[in-house]
A and B are shown apart, each in its own frame.
Chain A
């Protein structure tokens, strides 16, 4: 039986649809040299949704979007939601093996990717039994399971399909690195996304006139939510492919009169090295930082460079989207803090035995609220470890695995991670995932990967290798990593050593490496 629809449910596709109804002619997206209105994006997403439905992609089915930040990625996300499906955005630098792993892990029904990757798509069809449709963006002809995005746009109707979901249905999976090395898909239902987006919009005080620049990949929740939030409050998103060309980004800020600037520490480290006087950045109303902490010295220098803007230090993990934010007026007093729980949620600290801790103590951060996601796709054990029973029967809270300290006024300070995940350029890197790839190299008998402090990257990835037999060159190691890992996971440094330090039980002792 079909679920009963009504206005009591707010679903993620409503973000686009309500704005398309109220502000049809407003520019929603500036990307790839195009300026698209809400009505235009709505029409394109509707056509693509009809095409997905025509091939039997329906309620609850996963559709992978292996695309760079682009108009088609934005259209694709909303098309999947309109069709009742679950969207999965995959970083465009992901390599074949991991891509195949993710597609099989989430049992994707459809895959949308650039037309120039058709050879890869044909291979993936053979390796992924669940795939029934491939949509190629750009130059491509319809051929078997492969459908051309352009042909779909030319032939399907632009009428809005009726919703088939309720807000407990999944909206998206966001894959994130875990300490075991296998990526895990964090499941967000519609109510999780709607709540998280609303809470963030509240503390950032977003209004319809806001224009946000998006330069982080939409495969990353921080990047994705810039789109979701902008469409929810009826703003404009200026979507860029990345921060490779800082001057070009600043030029866009100036031309588009950008008001919201979401960055990560690497972006701010680059900005602080530049002469910003050549640009008119006066339109910027707020800057946000998350993914890794900004050094307090950078925070103070940023405030000097942007004295007119509100600067938000924040903390989060994909499992709860955003968790903490520091109200900008507190920045001066507590530059090292990432703040308090986001509006409508609560957090506390616990010790190893699960006892609640008070000010001054250090313990694991626990999070309670509607932004606590639904767990990991197809990974009940990992889910049970991270998402545990809360104070009320049947509810779950998120154990973040991150250690914090609280001051007398309840503001939180990040201390350390409980696992050995590395944060490089704001992206999570599981040492295990890199080590697994290194072990595939002939002659590698031991591999250990750690993060080392780096001015620009936050942490840079360093690999230690013990090689027997034919010696390997650094270039060989890096070429292999480049072929099998996303760009941000490729080690910056490789050191060949005769042996690795060990604990008494014979495990590699990483704390002795640097």
Chain B
């Protein structure tokens, strides 16, 4: 399986940025501060990680500590996958 970071980058590049040149930000760039995604996209990201990685995301887990950068999201997904 490709690493989690790569899958997250790919998803955002293709489905949120509609980018032809991949994910042009650093893995620790803040999604919201940098304007990479907006508030509605967060819900899309939740649906994506639930489906792609077979995890269930609780409401209380949808916080910046888990969902505000590629690194944070990947770390969260790995923790949840055990």
Contact = CB atoms under 8 A, between A and B. Distances in A.
Interface of A: 68, 92-93, 116, 241-248, 251, 270, 274-275, 278, 425, 456-457, 475-476, 478-479, 482, 487-488
Contact of B32 (A244, A251, A479): A244
Contact of B39 (A92, A116, A244, A478): A244
22 contacts: A93-B35, A116-B34, A241-B32, A241-B33, A243-B39, A244-B39, A244-B41, A245-B62, A245-B67, A247-B59, A247-B62, A251-B60, A251-B63, A270-B43, A275-B59, A478-B18, A479-B18, A479-B19, A482-B17, A482-B18, A487-B38, A488-B38
B64 interface: yes
Contact of B60 (A244, A247, A270): A247
A92 B38 CA distance: 11
A270 B41 CA distance: 13
A479 B62 contact: no
Nearest to B60: A247
CB-CB nearest 5 A-B residue pairs: A479-B18, A244-B39, A487-B38, A244-B42, A248-B63
Interface of B: 14, 17-20, 32-35, 38-43, 59-64, 67
Contacts of B63: 245, 247-248, 251
Given A93-B35, A241-B32, A275-B59, A248 B14 contact: no
B33 to A, nearest CB: 7
A476 B17 CA distance: 10
A19 B3 CA distance: 53
Given A242-B39, A245-B63, A475 B32 contact: no
A241 B40 CA distance: 13
Contacts of A457: 40
Contacts of A247: 59-63
Contacts of B62: 245-248
B35 A242 contact: no
Nearest to B19: A479
Contacts of B64: 245, 248
A425 B39 CA distance: 11
B31 to A, nearest CB: 8
Nearest to A279: B60
A244 B18 contact: no
Contact of B35 (A92, A245, A478): A92
A248 B19 CA distance: 29
Contacts of A278: 59-60
Most buried by B among A244, A246, A479: A244
A275 B59 CA distance: 8
A68 B33 contact: yes
A270 B18 CA distance: 26
